[in-house]
Amino acid sequence: MYIVKQLFSWGGLALLGIAAAPWLEAQYAPPTAYSVTVTNSMFGTPVTMQIYRDGNKAVVDNQSGDTHTRTLYDLAAQTSLFWDAKDPANACTIGKLAGDWGDPFTAPDIEGMLKHPSKPPTKEMYNGFTADVTEAVEPTQKVAVKVWREVKTGLYLRIDMTMPGAAKPTTVVESRNYIPTKPQEPAFETPPSCKDPGTIAPELYRPQLEKFAQKVGGAANDYIPANIPPGSQNACTMLLRVLDSKMQPVPNTQVAIDLSYDIDKPPHYTIGSTFSGGHLKEVTDQLRNGVLRVDNVPAVFDVELMFSSGHQGASSAVVYRHCSGPQTVLLFVKSGETGTPDSWMWVKSGKYAAAPGGR
Out of 147, 179, 211, pick the residue that ends a domain. Answer: 179
Query: In terms of domains, do 171 and 213 share one?
Result: no
Q: Are 280 and 302 a contacting pair, CB within 8 Å?
A: yes
The enclosing H or E element of 146 equals strand 144-150
Examine residue 190 and state whether it is found in any structural domain, yes or no: no
Query: In terms of domains, do 37 and 172 share one?
Result: yes
Per-residue model confidence (pLDDT) at position 61: 93
Per-residue model confidence (pLDDT) at position 45: 74
Examine residue 187 and state whether it is found in any structural domain, yes or no: no
Query: In terms of domains, do 234 and 296 share one?
Result: yes
CATH of the domain at 208: 2.60.40
For 259-311, what is each residue's pLDDT tens digit? 999 887 888 888 877 899 999 999 999 998 889 999 999 999 999 999 988 77
Q: Are 329 and 224 a contacting pair, CB within 8 Å?
A: no
Query: In terms of domains, do 156 and 274 share one?
Result: no
Examine residue 117 and state whether it is found in any structural domain, yes or no: yes
Q: Is 74 exposed, middle or buried (0-12, 13-18, 19+ CB in 10 A)?
A: middle
Q: Are 232 and 330 a contacting pair, CB within 8 Å?
A: no
Domain membership of residue 353 as a residue range = 199-358
Examine residue 194 and state whether it is found in any structural domain, yes or no: no
Query: In terms of domains, do 113 and 233 share one?
Result: no
Q: Are 97 and 103 a contacting pair, CB within 8 Å?
A: no
Examine residue 289 and state whether it is found in any structural domain, yes or no: yes
Examine residue 276 and state whether it is found in any structural domain, yes or no: yes
Q: Is 79 helix (H, G, I), strand (E, B) or coil?
A: strand
Per-residue model confidence (pLDDT) at position 66: 81
Query: In terms of domains, do 58 and 131 share one?
Result: yes
Query: In terms of domains, do 139 and 222 share one?
Result: no
Query: In terms of domains, do 214 and 335 share one?
Result: yes
Count of domains for the chain: 2
Examine residue 189 and state whether it is found in any structural domain, yes or no: no
- Judge if the upstream peptide bond of residue 139 is cis by omega within 30 degrees of 0: no
Per-residue model confidence (pLDDT) at position 197: 47
Query: In terms of domains, do 309 and 233 share one?
Result: yes
Query: In terms of domains, do 120 and 265 share one?
Result: no
Q: Are 332 and 227 a contacting pair, CB within 8 Å?
A: no
Query: In terms of domains, do 289 and 325 share one?
Result: yes
CATH of the domain at 55: 2.50.20
Examine residue 188 and state whether it is found in any structural domain, yes or no: no
Out of 130, 151, 179, pick the residue that ends a domain. Answer: 179
Q: Is 219 helix (H, G, I), strand (E, B) or coil?
A: coil
Q: How many CA within 13 A on the CB side of residue 91? A: 14
- Weakly modelled stretches of the chain, pLDDT under 50: 2-24, 197-201
Query: In terms of domains, do 150 and 17 share one?
Result: yes
Per-residue model confidence (pLDDT) at position 10: 30
For 124-170, what is each residue's pLDDT tens digit? 999 999 999 999 998 888 889 999 999 999 999 999 999 888 889 98
